[in-house]
């Protein structure tokens, strides 16, 4: 059997390969001559030193203009881009360029300028310039790491810090149309976020770079600090870019320090873990308020499923009377028990819903949508931090300042009041806030909890109600899981949460606005295999194919809707996210999100089940 490694024909090779050994003069000629000017380098060094919110820099007209135009032409004619979409981005990606030198002559001949460019970027000469102006130390010439992306209308990349493995400097070389100015209102800007404390970026960006052809932006990868995003491209234009990283020197390279790679890698992993565990700065918190034992008794004794006249009367003020009919309740209950999820259309009573719809629509047209966290005012707050989520919410509590001190006060010093939507309804003078708060109160009523019980056959033991608004061009929630242990110790709670999303997006009454998914805003649930911690060590964003109905890791998707309630029993193996809402969406996604700890209606069987479950868990562990 022949060896698996292809035997290289060395004699032939020299003919086939491009001249990879460019001399110093060649390399210099690939760049704009100013790059090699000491004074220029010193100026950039100063620019970087004085930059905010973290150390970064940019150079216009970096590469020889003819060469870069040629690169752009090659890329557009020779490289195929595929659309990739996850919870954190939508982008058209090309393949990895790291193996360019390994391609055969045919492939190299197709991309000769790109090949030159890569040699130039990773040349010792240019690496030394980058080292000098960033002060980051030596950089590897052998570990190259580049990719080509194009951001077209709707493409975006949400906030992240680029910290992975041995990355030392990030760079992005922009290649939009060379004969046109890229204007700020096209979107696609590189935005930099300051940190409140390390690992916690502020909600609003501080700096935005509008990229031009042949401009490079770069920054030292700074764990916990270098948070940035790519603003969504708003128009039908191509924002092509080559982006990549300089890594720390590898074995047998100048500047190689034994152990440094391992240290950097482990530091970045540690940082990621810390960042994940740093929940002190997460708002809103997944804290549910306990339902009192006296109230629980009401549900425990509500076996007959018979609502009193008064209860029916109250429920009818809000709910569609169809869903108070025994037969329909029974039907929904069966679906829920079978599927663990049920979607209930037109859940709210028609006139209540219509009034709500009209007032939300009016708000969207008459009032400017808050463009940053400072424009958000009581009773609304902005969720944070933005590398995990951003959206407006009302939780029935007071507002607080999003600073280190403000957060310390609310977490550790100040009053810990219970949510009170009724109070907000009374003091707010905004029609939408009043109506939504009213709904919030209703969702916390005994009668509604009873209704929930008959639909789901579980008893709520704690709850949280959040009224949310996801603004176009800003808001999202990245994939998150719940705690592994949902049932609290010494309770008979199930290790699941009952979750509800009451979708109240008025623009969804026109189906063409959201149904195609191009404006995002959809909620998606995915399965973590097995549901244990090992699945989440990998920090890659949850990758899925939105268009592939056969992808069985997707458990549930829901586009923005008007007046639709989704009830779901969520176990710790379910990842959930709300996709970033496009700036071109016709309005915000509005919803109410609720969570309840729950226990089974029947204590007796539950014990058996728990035993069974424990058995099953043991089996899984053994497996």
Query: Interface with other proteins by CB under 8 A: which residues?
Result: 177, 180, 183, 185, 234-238, 333-334, 337-341, 364-369, 371, 457-458, 471-473, 494-496, 510, 525, 527-528, 530-531, 550, 552, 555-556, 568-574, 583-587, 598, 600-602, 605, 609, 612
Q: Could you tell me which residues come within 8 angstroms of residue 307 by beta carbon, excluding any fewer than 6 positions away?
A: 315, 324, 447, 450, 451
Q: Is the Cβ of residue 78 or residue 262 nearer to other proteins in the bound state?
A: 78
Nearer to other proteins, 130 or 432 (CB): 432
**Residue 549 to residue 354: CA distance in whole angstroms:** 34
- Residue 395 or 433 having the CB closest to other proteins: 433
- Shortest spacing between CB 154 and other proteins, in angstroms: 13
Contact by Cβ (8 Å): 569, 498: yes
CB 58 to other proteins: min, Å: 24
Least Å distance between CB 456 and other proteins?
A: 8
Shortest Å, Cβ 614 to other proteins? 13
Distance from C-alpha of 93 to C-alpha of 111, rounded to nearest angstrom: 17
CA–CA distance, 594 with 601 (Å, rounded to integer): 20
Cβ–Cβ < 8 Å for 194, 239: no
User: Which 3 state secondary structure label does DSSP give 378?
Assistant: coil
Contact 525, 574 (CB under 8 A): yes
User: Which residues, 6+ apart, have CB-to-CB distance to 335 below 8 Å?
Assistant: 342
Rounded to an integer, what distance in angstroms lies between the CA atom of residue 159 and that of residue 90?
13
Q: Of the candidates 204, 583, 580, which has an alpha carbon nearest to the alpha carbon of residue 384?
A: 204
Q: How far is the CB of 483 from other proteins (least distance, A)?
A: 13
Q: Which is nearer to other proteins, 9 or 612 (CB)?
A: 612
Comparing CA positions, the residue from 460, 455, 457 lying closest to residue 298 is: 460
Give the residue with the Cβ less far from other proteins, 283 or 336: 336
Q: How far is CA 526 from the centre of its chain?
A: 14
Strand, helix or coil at 566? strand
CB of 150 to other proteins, least distance (A): 11
Q: Which is nearer to other proteins, 20 or 372 (CB)?
A: 372
Query: What's the CA gap between 425 and 441, in Å, rounded?
Result: 9
d(CA 334, CA 340): 10
Q: How far is the CB of 569 from other proteins (least distance, A)?
A: 5
H or E element: which one contains 496? strand 493-504
Closest contact distance (angstroms) between CB of 73 and other proteins is 12
Token look-up 């008064």 returns 310
| Least distance between other proteins and beta carbon 308 (Å) | 23
Q: What is the DSSP letter of 86?
A: B
* Least separation in angstroms between CB 67 and other proteins: 20
- Cβ proximity to other proteins: between 262 and 611 the closer is 611
Reply yes or no: is the peptide bond before residue 385 cis, omega within 30 of 0: yes
Q: How far is the CB of 602 from other proteins (least distance, A)?
A: 6
> CB-wise, 45 or 586, nearer to other proteins?
586
CA distance 318 to 444: 13
Residue 373's SS3 state is helix
Q: How far is the CB of 529 from other proteins (least distance, A)?
A: 8
- Helix or strand or coil: residue 253? coil
Range 144-156 burial, b when 16+ CB lie within 10 A, else e:
bbbbbbbbbbbbb
The β-bridge partners of 296 are none
- CA angle 276/472/480 to nearest 5° reads 20
Looking at beta carbons only, is 294 or 338 nearer to other proteins?
A: 338
**Closest separation in Å from C-beta 427 to other proteins:** 25
Contact of 94 with 148, CB cutoff 8 Å: yes
Which CB atom, from 104 or from 552, has the smaller least distance to other proteins? 552
- How far apart (Å, rounded) are the C-alpha atoms in residues 167 and 402? 31
Closest to other proteins by CB, 178 vs 321, is: 178
Q: Cβ closer to other proteins: 263 or 612?
A: 612
Our CB check for other proteins shows the closer of 333 and 428 to be 333
Residues 560, 429 contacting (CB under 8 angstroms): no
Distance CA 51, CA 228 (A): 14
């Amino acid at each position: 059997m022949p060896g698996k490694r292809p035997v290289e024909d060395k004699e032939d090779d020299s003919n086939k390969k491009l001249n990879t050994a460019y001399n110093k003069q060649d390399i210099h000629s690939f760049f704009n001559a100013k790059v090699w000017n000491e004074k220029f380098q010193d100026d950039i060094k100063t620019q970087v030193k004085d930059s905010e919110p973290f150390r970064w820099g940019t150079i216009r007209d970096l590469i020889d203009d003819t060469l870069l135009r040629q690169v752009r032409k090659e890329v557009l004619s020779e490289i195929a881009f595929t659309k990739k979409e996850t919870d954190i981005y939508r982008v058209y990606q090309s393949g990895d360029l790291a193996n360019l030198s390994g391609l055969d002559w045919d492939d190299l001949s197709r991309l000769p300028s790109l090949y030159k460019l890569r040699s130039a970027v990773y040349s010792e000469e240019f690496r030394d310039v980058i080292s000098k102006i960033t002060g980051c130390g030596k950089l590897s010439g052998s570990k190259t790491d580049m990719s080509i992306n194009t951001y077209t209308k709707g493409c975006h990349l949400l906030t992240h810090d680029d910290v992975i493995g041995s990355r030392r400097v990030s760079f992005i070389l922009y290649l939009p149309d060379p004969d046109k100015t890229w204007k700020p209102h096209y979107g696609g800007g590189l935005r930099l976020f300051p940190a409140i404390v390390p690992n916690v970026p502020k909600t609003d960006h501080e700096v935005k770079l509008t990229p031009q052809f042949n401009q490079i932006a770069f920054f030292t990868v700074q764990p916990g600090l270098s948070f940035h995003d790519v603003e969504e491209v708003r128009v039908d234009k191509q924002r092509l870019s080559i982006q990549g990283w300089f890594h720390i020197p590898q074995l047998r390279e100048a500047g190689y320090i034994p152990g440094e790679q391992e240290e950097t890698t482990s530091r970045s992993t540690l940082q990621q873990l810390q960042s994940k565990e740093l929940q002190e700065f997460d708002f809103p918190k997944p804290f549910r308020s306990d339902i009192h034992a006296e109230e629980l008794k009401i549900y425990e004794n509500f076996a007959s499923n018979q609502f009193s006249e008064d209860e029916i009367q109250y429920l009818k003020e809000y709910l569609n009377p169809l869903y108070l009919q025994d037969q329909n309740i029974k039907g929904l209950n069966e679906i829920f028990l079978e599927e663990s999820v049920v979607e209930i259309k037109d859940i709210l009573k028609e006139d209540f819903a219509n009034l709500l719809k009209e007032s939300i629509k009016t708000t969207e047209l008459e009032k400017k949508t808050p463009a940053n966290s400072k424009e958000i005012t009581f009773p609304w707050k902005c969720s944070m931090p933005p590398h995990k989520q951003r959206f407006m919410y009302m939780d029935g509590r007071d507002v607080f300042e999003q600073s280190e001190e403000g957060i310390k006060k609310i977490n550790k010093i100040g009053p810990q009041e219970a949510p009170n939507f009724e109070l907000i309804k009374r003091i707010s003078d905004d029609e939408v806030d009043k109506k939504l708060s009213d709904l919030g109160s209703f969702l916390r009523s005994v009668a509604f909890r009873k209704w929930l019980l008959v639909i789901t056959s579980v008893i709520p033991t704690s709850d949280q109600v959040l009224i949310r608004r996801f603004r176009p061009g800003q808001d999202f929630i990245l994939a998150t899981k719940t705690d592994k242990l949902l049932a609290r110790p010494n309770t008979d709670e199930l290790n699941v949460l009952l979750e509800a999303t009451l979708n109240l997006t008025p623009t969804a009454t026109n189906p063409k606005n959201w149904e195609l998914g191009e404006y995002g805003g959809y909620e998606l649930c995915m399965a973590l295999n097995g549901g244990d911690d090992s699945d989440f060590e990998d920090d890659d964003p949850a990758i899925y194919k939105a268009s592939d109905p056969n992808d069985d890791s997707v458990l549930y998707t829901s586009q923005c809707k008007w007046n639709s309630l989704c009830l779901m029993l969520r176990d710790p193996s379910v990842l959930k996210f709300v996709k970033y809402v496009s700036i071109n969406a016709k309005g915000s996604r509005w919803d109410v999100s609720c969570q309840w700890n729950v226990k089974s209606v029947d204590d007796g069987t539950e014990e058996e089940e728990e035993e069974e479950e424990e058995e099953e868990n043991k089996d899984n562990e053994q497996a």
